[in-house]
A and B are shown apart, each in its own frame.
Chain A
Amino acid sequence: MSLLERRIKPADSPRAIAIATILSVLAALIIGGLLFLPYGANPFSAYAALFNEAFLSWRGFGFTLVKAAPLILVGLGTVVAWRTGFGYLGFEGCLLIGAAASTIVALSAAEGGALAGIPSFVFLPLATLAALLAGGLWAGIIGLFKGRFGGNEVITSLMMNYVAILLVQYLVSGPLRASGGLPQTPRFEREYWLPLLLDGSRAHAGILISLLAAAIVWVVLMRSRLGFEMIVTGLNPKAAKFGGIEVGRRQMMAACLAGGLAALAGMVEVLGVHHRLMDGMSEGTGFIGIVAALLGKLHPLGVVIVSLLYAGMTVGADAMQRQAGLPGSIVFMIQSMILLFILTSDLFRYYRLRLPRRRTPLKETRHGA
């Protein structure tokens, strides 16, 4: 016997969706709050510390912007790829490839390099172009396999992540290695760092790059013919083909665009935060960005909002960890639980629980009748 009963009409009004989402978030926060207890922390004050640091302190907010920038860019890449029906998962790899490409430009702009001494207003467009090209090419290969030969992009793009990780490992331990013990490149010259935005915080221009990218993606995807063709391809490739859209080519373009966007995330990270390329740099941003895109309903604006919230939670978690001795892993769990609950809540929009009814009252009425 199934406990689930199909609703006659799915509960898909905006109100039902909002209620489901809010309940999911609340449930995750409550369960997350229980996780504080073994550490003897008060969940309310811990959450308060988290939000204070993430959004209300100047310094913390700066960090939030720093963390949000690459998430937004990867999220935008996900929007473009997934909306076109290209189930790409290789953003982690694209991010690293973009980081590597802009590192090569930055290092050749250092003393003795091929581009030695170019001014920063020439450098930045050059580095951006390098990252875009490298990332676009990297994902474009997978787009080609899918569009031309019908390969499975989910698996191949996952595998490409590892190739990228190994490639960066090779670069930082071989050709680009700085003298010294650690596998990393030399530090870039200060004039090629992304400029800081706010006094007294670490927020750098990366957030502007990502917001600009969000605006461009919004216009291209939602307001242009190309974007329309891409979305139709994603909704129904057969119908799109019938309507005269070159499905393979659109998927290929989506792949290049998505790869380029994720590569910019890598550029923003090396030029804005680390100021050098190093092994183990990404820490899963390429995957978390996918999650941000999904929570943002695969819409550019949604991606920006969710990424800011997500980044804020991460920054607040660090603060919480320092102040109360709480593990930051709690926030990872809360973040993923929110998503899992939202996914589950979909079930209840189509189905309702059929709780086993008590038999006795029925019997009584029957006897009485």
Chain B
Amino acid sequence: MELDFQTTAVLTGWLAATIRLAGPLLLAALGELFAERSGVLNIGIEGVMLLGALAAYLATWVFGSPWIGVLAGMASGLASGLFLGFMYVTVQASHVVVGIIFNIFALGLASYVYRLALSGVSGVQTVTMFTAAKVPYLSDIPILGQVLFSHTLPLYLTVLMVFVAAFTLYRTAFGLNLRAVGENPRAADTAGINVTRYRYGAVIISTVASGAAGAYLVLANVGQFRETIISGQGFIALAIVIFGRWNPWLAALAALVFGAADALQLTLQLMNTGVPPQLLLALPYLLTIIAMSGLIGKANQPDAFMQPYRKE
């Protein structure tokens, strides 16, 4: 079948958008994967992403460099992680409760700081963004070049992170110990692994990644900050981790599924096909629900998932 020019353009656009939209979600999900593998369900990443986005936006606005923005996003992620780690690990409050309250707190804080920082500034300010970094030669390949090799640097770095995450989890002592902590903290403790330290570390990995993901969203995809800029992406990242069965490779695949649904509904809205875009957007959630429902075998979640641990 000969694809006409317009169909090819739409297809290429859709695939490229899929990858662009999947990027920040995947970055946050890779971090969350570490937290969950250590037994912590960090629902607070929604708020962490929001604070990361704000920090990145303000830093880029002041200093003019998106790289400083990324650093600021990661620094705000680190601060959030220290606090969340304290609540999850030291205080041992319910992960779910802390996460929900932190999200509400972050919403208030972000809107407070944003108003304070921009008092006296009229209009919405757009900051310097990452520009597309086309890979030499490869980006000239028809279709494939635009789909795979014409993205921003944060996207390539995120793809690299999939490899790093998989290597760290499965090929290093740190990864082995981390997984042990998530499966059986008591046994890990007996074997001399410091459960507290590993869980703090895993939570901080997840929040630094989420802060960076918020920065990514602002600096590569949007260019501005709004209080509603993170509306559910943190929860989608949770879904991606679970849909990807706590594995970095499958998480990357899951992120693409969510990205594809999002990109497709945008395309379809433009094309006026009559397919409700909400149906496409709901599909990945429905798939996640089915994957977690217990209908198709037990999802192999870490055994100590959402369980606090106190050394006796």
A236 within 8 A of B: no
> Contact size class for B?
35 or more
B168 within 8 A of A: no
Q: A174 to B115: give the CA distance in the assembly, Å.
A: 36
Which residues of B sit under 8 angstroms from A340, Cβ to Cβ? 87, 98, 101-102, 105
B108 touches A329 (CB 8 A): yes
A335 touches B104 (CB 8 A): yes
> Contact size class for A?
35 or more
Which residues of B sit under 8 angstroms from A174, Cβ to Cβ? 276
Q: A159 to B287: give the CA distance in the assembly, Å.
A: 10
A213 within 8 A of B: no
A162 within 8 A of B: yes
A288 within 8 A of B: yes
A343 touches B97 (CB 8 A): yes
CB distance from A313 to the nearest CB of B (A): 12
CB distance from B102 to the nearest CB of A (A): 8
Interface residues of A in 154-177 (CB under 8 A from B): 154-156, 158-163, 166-167, 169-170, 173-174
A344 within 8 A of B: yes
CB distance from A132 to the nearest CB of B (A): 23
With contacts A158-B235, A159-B288, A340-B101 taken as known, whether A151 is within 8 angstroms of B108 at the C-beta atoms is no
| Smallest CB-CB A-B distances: 8 pairs | A149-B294, A332-B108, A151-B294, A336-B105, A333-B108, A329-B111, A166-B278, A145-B293
B295 touches A151 (CB 8 A): yes
With contacts A291-B104, A337-B105 taken as known, whether A35 is within 8 angstroms of B112 at the C-beta atoms is yes
A-B contacts, 17 listed (Cβ < 8 Å): A87-B96, A89-B96, A145-B294, A154-B96, A158-B235, A159-B239, A159-B286, A160-B289, A169-B278, A173-B278, A329-B111, A329-B112, A332-B105, A332-B108, A343-B91, A343-B98, A347-B90
Which residues of A sit under 8 angstroms from B105, Cβ to Cβ? 332-333, 336-337, 340
DSSP class of A's interface residues: helix, strand, loop or mixed?
helix
CB distance from A147 to the nearest CB of B (A): 10
A346 within 8 A of B: yes
A156 touches B108 (CB 8 A): no
The interface-forming segment of B58-66, B202-210, B298-306 is B298-306
A158 touches B238 (CB 8 A): yes
CB distance from B212 to the nearest CB of A (A): 23
Q: Known pairs A159-B292, A336-B101, A340-B101. 5 more at Cβ < 8 A? A: A155-B292, A161-B235, A163-B286, A166-B282, A169-B278
B242 within 8 A of A: yes
Which residue on chain A has the smallest CB distance to residue B98?
A: A343
Q: A329 to B43: give the CA distance in the assembly, Å.
A: 21
With contacts A154-B96, A167-B282, A346-B91 taken as known, whether A149 is within 8 angstroms of B101 at the C-beta atoms is no
With contacts A291-B101, A340-B87 taken as known, whether A149 is within 8 angstroms of B108 at the C-beta atoms is no
Most buried by B among A155, A327, A329: A155
Interface residues of A in 311-365 (CB under 8 A from B): 327, 329-333, 335-337, 339-340, 343-344, 346-347
B281 within 8 A of A: yes
* Residue in contact with B107 in the complex, picked from A154, A155, A170, A329, CB distance below 8 Å: A329
B111 touches A152 (CB 8 A): no
Which residues of B sit under 8 angstroms from A181, Cβ to Cβ? none
Which residue on chain B has the smallest CB distance to residue A288?
A: B104
CB distance from A320 to the nearest CB of B (A): 13
A339 touches B101 (CB 8 A): yes
Which of A's residues lie within 8 Å of B, judged by CB? 4, 35, 38-39, 87, 89, 145-146, 148-152, 154-156, 158-163, 166-167, 169-170, 173-174, 284, 287-288, 290-291, 294, 327, 329-333, 335-337, 339-340, 343-344, 346-347
Which residues of A sit under 8 angstroms from B281, Cβ to Cβ? 166
Interface residues of B in 74-130 (CB under 8 A from A): 87, 90-93, 96-98, 100-105, 107-112, 115-116
Which residues of B sit under 8 angstroms from A290, Cβ to Cβ? 97, 100
Q: A71 to B197: give the CA distance in the assembly, Å.
A: 38
Which residues of B sit under 8 angstroms from A149, Cβ to Cβ? 293-295
CB distance from B253 to the nearest CB of A (A): 18
B41 within 8 A of A: yes
Q: A357 to B238: give the CA distance in the assembly, Å.
A: 44
Which residue on chain B has the smallest CB distance to residue A284?
A: B104
A327 touches B93 (CB 8 A): no
Which residues of B sit under 8 angstroms from A347, Cβ to Cβ? 90-92
Which residues of A sit under 8 angstroms from B278, Cβ to Cβ? 166-167, 169-170, 173
A291 touches B100 (CB 8 A): yes
* Residue in contact with A332 in the complex, picked from B43, B107, B115, CB distance below 8 Å: B107
- B270-312 CB contact bits vs A (8 Å, 1 = yes)? 0000001011011001101100111100110100001000000
CB distance from B166 to the nearest CB of A (A): 23
B301 touches A152 (CB 8 A): yes
Q: A290 to B96: give the CA distance in the assembly, Å.
A: 10
Q: A163 to B261: give the CA distance in the assembly, Å.
A: 14
